[in-house]
Amino acid sequence: MNFEVEKKEFLKGLSLIQSVAGRKTTLPILSHILLEWKEDSLYLTGTDLETAIREQLPATIHRDGKGSTSAKKLYEIVRELPDGTIHIEKKENHWMTLQCGKSVFNLAGLDPDEFPTMPSYREDFFSKILIKVVREMIGKSVFAASNEESRYHLNGVYFVQSKSAGREILRMVATDGHRLSLVDREGRLIRGLEKGIIIPKKGVMEIRKILEDRDGEGDMELYFDQSHGFFRMGKSLLVIRLIDGEFPEYDQVIPKGNDKKLVLEKEKVSGSLRRVSTMASDRVEGIRFSVKDNTLELSSYHQDFGDAREEVDVVYEGAPIEIGFNARYLIEALNVIDTAEVIMELKDEGSPGIIRPSSSTDPTDQLCIVMPMRI
Amino acid sequence: MNFEVEKKEFLKGLSLIQSVAGRKTTLPILSHILLEWKEDSLYLTGTDLETAIREQLPATIHRDGKGSTSAKKLYEIVRELPDGTIHIEKKENHWMTLQCGKSVFNLAGLDPDEFPTMPSYREDFFSKILIKVVREMIGKSVFAASNEESRYHLNGVYFVQSKSAGREILRMVATDGHRLSLVDREGRLIRGLEKGIIIPKKGVMEIRKILEDRDGEGDMELYFDQSHGFFRMGKSLLVIRLIDGEFPEYDQVIPKGNDKKLVLEKEKVSGSLRRVSTMASDRVEGIRFSVKDNTLELSSYHQDFGDAREEVDVVYEGAPIEIGFNARYLIEALNVIDTAEVIMELKDEGSPGIIRPSSSTDPTDQLCIVMPMRI
């Protein structure tokens, strides 16, 4: 016997690694999980060469060692095992034997030394940050990142730190060229964020997943070097290869002269947008947005199905304005605003609109920009 | 205004029709839903020419009429509407206007007279049956039906009625050639079932869906003619075109001389099968089933991943026997047996096995047959 581990712990670790292990099929070892057992811990590692996850689990170790086996198969097996202790023994030719209750599995393996080395990290470089701050900033930005592979420098979230009035401000920004989302939060100094880095969307999703059932009042630790981001949450370590590209000069995109200011009730306008967008054309999802005299009229037209129109009360007393928008972009922007009232700032039919929470005192505390479209 | 209907009722009716409307795209009208309003009801009809569903909803009718519009689009729209009354008016050129609160939709339509006519039914032919009996019989049989399009006469559930000891016995049987499931329940005489009919699997699934949130103690009504089955549940009417083919002589498949009888604990053996099947080869899912001296040993082998072995206590004192089975077929058979103890009857490694509930007094109350396989 080499080591023993509890099923529940093992399953939790394996499930967190599933999404990265086996994502790349270029090398057989990448569909494997690396198991290393030493002192009083079992370490599970999976990687797709862009994101690597390492989980540390409590285990009873009888003899140090390591092995590798199919991440998917091991997960399927452990998921079906009854709660209890799992015994694992290393065999010849990189095989392992897993025994639990009356079940015995012989698992084919590869040489664990073939497993890609995880980038090494410096213990003293980590800074703490509240989990809820990271979760909130990701939630308010990542949806706007691009999914187009050709625009790889937009396939992630730009993360940067600056000083404002003596406070350290963390900022996340994402854009796909048609809309942009930006969020600022106060935080402590984080190593490597001075000049801004881009975390790929997939990596951001992994951070989110690992944070899912953690207590928001708790801390996580992180830092960045030239090429990687290092994230530590409890016994999980995540290393993400950063996107090597220039994030656009987003500051220039933020409109300055949007003098037509509407106050909207978020839930009401969201509902109207969802209804009217059912008749928007499939490809562009465009709707017409007309405002005058405290009334917003949303309308759409689909060449096969018909048309839709709805009025919503808003607060607006400026000159009438009519502008086309992608309905989904507006809905997604409203979704990440927490206040019941939302401010929308427009200029004219050819200029981007700004959406922000009504209570934001700092003009860049949070904002979404949506480009207009011809309808 | 032609009629008014409550959003909740309308949505429920539309959602039940979604799965048949638009399934066939050969004719544009088949992606539509037929709306007919007369007296105090709105009738919604959808069909894929094999299954037709008609829903009757309470409505306030101002002027009788009918119309057709995209089933999918109408569902998407109504789903997003706030609770309340929906007003619909027929316009020129088969268009309809839908208005609810401050929303107005103009819906493109086709000539409702183009909509396929639903087979007509005879009110006096219907017999009552308990919903829970239908639900149970479907649940215990349909999983074994074939999905292979080339074996269309096996793509459904055979439904037949016979008299046994003065009682009317309803029987459902399904098989894909590798396994068979049969269930008998007492019932009243149902028109058209004397010589047995085959309900296609898709139709069976529609019955199941419509029964989903009904009270099991309630009744439904049904009868069959040469070509169709008619099912009425509350305000829903389902007409299913029957499979025109001969169901195999399944009686000949039921083994008679299976003298090796095991008693299994269902949950225990199910769990073992799930675990051991993780190492079964992907294509055939075969596992080895060996019994001797009150012990069942399950084992499997996968050429890439390794092997698995597990022992389970059973009640068995006959001669040792070793036989190959598809693990999934065994798991699915155990799933539809309600008793904690299950009887399994085997003969030899080349003969099919029988699985049945332990409490069944009648030998054909419920049984599953699984063909053996070479491992």
- Tokens 């009208």 label which residue? B29
The CATH classification of domain B3-114, taken from the options 1.10.10.10, 3.40.5.10, 3.10.150.10, 3.40.50.10540: 3.10.150.10
Calculate the dihedral angle through the C-alpha atoms of A275, A279, A280, A281, rounding to the nearest 10 degrees.
Answer: 150
Q: For the residues B267-279, what does the mean pLDDT come to?
A: 96
Is B310 part of the contact surface with chain A (CB cutoff 8 Å)?
yes
Q: For the residues B148-162, what does the mean pLDDT come to?
A: 93
CA A267 to chain centre: 24
CB pairs under 8 A between A and B: 95
ipTM: 0.88
Task: Place B362 in a pLDDT band, splitting at 50, 70 and 90.
Answer: confident
Q: Which residues contact B223 (CB under 8 A, 6 or more apart)?
A: B121, B122, B125, B126, B127, B190, B191, B192, B229, B230
| Residue with the larger pLDDT of the pair B50 and B24 | B50
The H or E element containing residue A46 is: strand A41-47
Q: What is the mean pLDDT of each run of 10 residues along chain A (375 residues)?
A: 95 93 84 96 96 97 96 96 96 96 96 95 95 96 94 94 90 97 94 95 94 87 97 95 94 92 97 96 89 97 96 96 97 97 96 93 86 91
Residue A362 CA to residue A300 CA, distance in Å, equals 35
- When scoring A80, A265, A312 by the number of chain B Cβ atoms within 10 A, the one with the most, hence best to mutate, is A80
Is B1 part of the contact surface with chain A (CB cutoff 8 Å)?
no
- Supply the angle between the helices B266-277 and A71-80 in degrees, to the nearest 10: 170
Burial B339-365 (b: 16+ CB within 10 A, else e): eeebbbbbbeeebbbbbbbeeeeeebe
Per-residue pLDDT reduced to its tens digit, B178-234: 999 999 999 899 999 999 999 999 999 999 999 987 887 899 999 999 999 999 999
Residue B298 CA to residue B239 CA, distance in Å, equals 45
Under an 8 A CB cutoff, do B106 and A308 touch?
Answer: yes
State the pLDDT at residue B19: 87
Per-residue pLDDT reduced to its tens digit, B325-353: 999 999 999 999 999 999 999 999 999 99
CA A373 to each of CA A131, A143, B312: distance values in angstroms, whole numbers, following the listed order: 37, 20, 66
State the pLDDT at residue B282: 78
CATH superfamily of B123-250: DNA Polymerase III, subunit A, domain 2 (3.10.150.10)
Calculate the dihedral angle through the C-alpha atoms of A288, A289, A292, A294, rounding to the nearest 10 degrees.
Answer: 140
B74: distance to nearest CA of chain A, Å? 9
Residues of each domain in chain A carrying CATH 3.10.150.10: 3-114, 123-250, 254-370
A102: distance to nearest CA of chain B, Å? 5
Under an 8 A CB cutoff, do B312 and A103 touch?
Answer: no
Whether pLDDT at B292 is above 80:
yes
State the pLDDT at residue A84: 96
Is A106 part of the contact surface with chain B (CB cutoff 8 Å)?
yes
Task: Place B260 in a pLDDT band, splitting at 50, 70 and 90.
Answer: very high
Q: How many helices (H) and strands (E) does chain B have?
A: 6, 25
Task: Place B283 in a pLDDT band, splitting at 50, 70 and 90.
Answer: confident
Q: Which residues of A touch B271 (CB under 8 A)?
A: 80, 82
State the pLDDT at residue A121: 93
Whether pLDDT at B123 is above 90:
yes
CA B2 to each of CA B65, B79, B305: distance values in angstroms, whole numbers, following the listed order: 8, 21, 66
Is B336 part of the contact surface with chain A (CB cutoff 8 Å)?
no
Report the CATH number of the A254-370 domain: 3.10.150.10
Per-residue pLDDT reduced to its tens digit, B130-152: 999 999 999 999 999 999 988 88
Q: Search chain B and give the residue with CA nearest A312.
A: B102
- Tokens 């097996």 label which residue? A77
State the pLDDT at residue A232: 96
- When scoring B107, B275, B313 by the number of chain A Cβ atoms within 10 A, the one with the most, hence best to mutate, is B275
Under an 8 A CB cutoff, do B76 and A278 touch?
Answer: yes
